[in-house]
Structure 1
Amino acid sequence: MMKISWLTLSWLLLLFGLSSEATEFKVLKAGQELRNFHSLVSPNQIYTLSFFYPDSSTTTRYFGIQFSKPRLTKSVWIANRVNPFSDSSGIFYITDEGDMVLSDNSSGLNITLNTVKPLSSQSGEQIVWQSFDEPTDAFLRGMKVGLFGLKTKEPSKKFLNSWLSPEVASSGAFALGIDDDDLYQLVIWKRVEVYWHSGSLDGKNLKNLQSFPYPHLEFKYSSNDNESYFTFLGIDSQSYYGNSSFIQLNSSGEICVNNAEIDSYQLIDNLQLCDDEDDNISEGCIPAQPSKCTGGD
């Protein structure tokens, strides 16, 4: 079996930068481990891969990618949102065969992140796994959301899924992606019902996001016989923001527009799409259907 001697991860994880502290790594080699207080830091020093607590009031521990500053409080990807750890005994390591394993010593649970055969890159290197293929609640620049492998026996979907609450990263009520019945727009589902739809691209922005005066988001739509997806390009390139901007689907179903730099993180705006209680219904909202349940159901 092919052996991978060092870690190759796409974009966010590729060649993480080395800082002055011994617990921050540039490359994680087979046989090495990331434990509590160990981390990988990206070359631009914006992103950090490590174990973390989502909130100071909880002992629940996740492994994922956060902004390095300030204080590692905003995450963009989580590996174990379904199985959070209860303490700091978690370990992340790479086997000689290239398997990326997240291990919970307390429960004995082992999670293998890359469960498919590695893909060959144009440079001849082996891409073992990339976080962009398994998004959580963040839509980063260059990420694709949509339908893939449509001509295969097992087509796949890539979509965002909100947190359950601001403190709990497990899957919440809202998801954002492409509906099988309409490939030319993004939709947000609330549980199983369509909650909001974006409309098709009008220029670089989605039609039903243009009613928000700022910020101006940019997307690209691509489609062929085998895949149909949207790529997030960032905030209007003419604005101050753009290079590190991303959007996030929060636990209330809002689209949060964010920007990150080397030493700062900023929430630019919350796009409140649908608020039944305040009668604040933006373009694209789907009115909730009355329950068909009757007494005793």
Structure 2
Amino acid sequence: MAMFLLPLIIYLTSFSIFFPSPSHAADTLTPSDTLRDNQTLVSAGGVFELGFFSDLISGNHYLGIWFKADAAKVVWVGNREAAILDSSGVLQIRSGNLLLSDRRQLQVIVNSANVASSPNTIATLLDTGNFVLKEEDTDTVIWQSFDVPSDTYLPGMKLGLFGQNTTQPSFHFLVSWVSPQNPARGLFTLTLDQANSTKVVVWRGDGRHMDIAFWDGHNLRFIFDNTSSKNDYNFSYHPIGEEDAYYTFSKGRYDLMWFVMASTGDLDQFFLLDGNIWSISHRLCEDFAGGNTGKCLSSLPSICENGDSFSVMNGSLPSTFNSGGWINMGTSDCETLCKSNCSCTAFVSVQNGQQVCQLYYQSRKDLLKIVKKGPGIVYIRGGATSSSGKYKIIL
């Protein structure tokens, strides 16, 4: 197999940044149920768990799915751009739809891409890691998490292009996290090439992209594969007329195998066998077979004196402060805007019914004088010196 023939880093993974909630045995959410921060759903076979998790850096809470045996392996996030600031999150079924809300009355319809027309729905977490909303009487699937992946590609997921010649085309693709601690949409996107759907492409935020795999008529060949070895990924390619084209794969000889589009620009591959999880990190280089040529599709180096890392401080800017108000932009969008201008000292993402991005361009010293105490978060350029994370808390 290719992974044993190439000089890749194989490592056991161990993380402790997430704090998932205690669980109970139920795998299904009904209209009479509410799922709160101290509750979870567990798939029937005990493989996956769904609930709220938080991180040590920002304290934000997210609806997610993770491995029951390893809560640090989050495979899906339902509110990447609408973080809950505390433990007040509630998931319930209202009018047939999955509604996520918090104490601020922030309401997000999780299945907004496919709104239910019937009020008689239930949502079940499957042992595949798929969270399915369906009509209780007919078993008709209305929405499923597999159709809106985050950064993780699990067996059975369809990665591809759908309805290309219709008025409502859809895309199933992976988007990296901003950082290992921040599940908002990051810099790297893995998808199919629209011009040639047999190719798998990774795009970076600056528009640069590269082909990382192609269909040779029988197998999907990655750039990090030894093409003389037997393909061990069990991928299949499904072109359906001119409308749809997608890839899917099975777990192969492992108990489970999956891919993650990492925030660093690497493609991480995970394996579960006999209860043990290990992974390989594949660097995306344009000439992998010839060695590292320095043309890898990795994170861009900062051109700013204070770098592109951000410290975090609990608090908020005064309500009278209105320097650069950008509407309907999440945390990752605010960060991208701030990074694009080295004069940007800090940014704040305000989510009170409407996502507003505020950019701060004055001195860091003056900023610290006007920050108000409170539950919000101010992201300040510089000071994040930890190699294990992107943000460092300012005390």
Q: TM-score, normalised by structure 1?
A: 0.76
CA drift at 1:26:
2.9
What 5-or-longer segments of structure 1 have no aligned partner?
A: 1-20, 289-297
CA drift at 1:195:
3.2
Query: 1:198-236: CA deviations, max 9, x gaps?
Result: 1224633325242387993231111122201111223xx
Q: Given that residues 266 and 298 in structure 2 are in contact (C-alpha distance below 8 angstroms), is that contact kept between their aligned partners in structure 1?
A: no
Asked if 1:126 is matched to 2:140, the reply is yes
Q: Which residue does the alignment assign to 2:63?
A: 63
Distance 2:85 2:174 in 1: 25
Distance 2:32 2:39 in 1: 15
Q: Which residue does the alignment assign to 1:193?
A: 208
Distance 1:183 1:285 in 2: 23
SS of the aligned residue for 1:74 comes to strand
Q: Which residue does the alignment assign to 1:224?
A: 240
Pair 1:183–1:170, CA change in 2 (3 A): same
Q: Given that residues 64 and 77 in structure 1 are in contact (C-alpha distance below 8 angstroms), is that contact kept between their aligned partners in structure 2?
A: yes
Q: Which residue does the alignment assign to 1:41?
A: 42
The CA RMSD measured in Å over matched residues stands at 3.1
Q: Which residue does the alignment assign to 1:258?
A: 270
Per mean C-alpha deviation after superposition, the further-off stretch among 177-186 and 266-275 is 266-275
Q: Given that residues 104 and 110 in structure 1 are in contact (C-alpha distance below 8 angstroms), is that contact kept between their aligned partners in structure 2?
A: yes
Q: Given that residues 98 and 128 in structure 1 are in contact (C-alpha distance below 8 angstroms), is that contact kept between their aligned partners in structure 2?
A: no
CA drift at 1:267:
2.9
CA drift at 1:175:
0.5
Q: Given that residues 162 and 244 in structure 2 are in contact (C-alpha distance below 8 angstroms), is that contact kept between their aligned partners in structure 1?
A: yes
Identify which of 107, 116, 124 aligns with 1:110: 107
Distance 1:90 1:223 in 2: 40
Pair 1:176–1:22, CA change in 2 (3 A): closer
SS of the aligned residue for 1:198 comes to strand
Q: Which residue does the alignment assign to 1:154?
A: 168
Q: Which residue does the alignment assign to 1:292?
A: none
Q: Which residue does the alignment assign to 2:16?
A: none
Q: Given that residues 248 and 257 in structure 1 are in contact (C-alpha distance below 8 angstroms), is that contact kept between their aligned partners in structure 2?
A: yes
Identify which of 189, 192, 214 aligns with 1:175: 189
Q: Which residue does the alignment assign to 1:135?
A: 149
CA drift at 1:151:
2.9
Distance 2:32 2:233 in 1: 42
SS of the aligned residue for 1:170 comes to strand
Pair 1:34–1:214, CA change in 2 (3 A): farther
Q: Which residue does the alignment assign to 1:100?
A: 98
Q: State how many pairs are aligned.
A: 254
CA drift at 1:266:
1.5
Q: TM-score, normalised by structure 2?
A: 0.58
CA drift at 1:197:
2.8
Q: Given that residues 257 and 272 in structure 2 are in contact (C-alpha distance below 8 angstroms), is that contact kept between their aligned partners in structure 1?
A: yes
Pair 1:75–1:286, CA change in 2 (3 A): closer
Per mean C-alpha deviation after superposition, the further-off stretch among 265-274 and 32-41 is 265-274
Distance 1:146 1:177 in 2: 7
CA drift at 1:179:
1.6
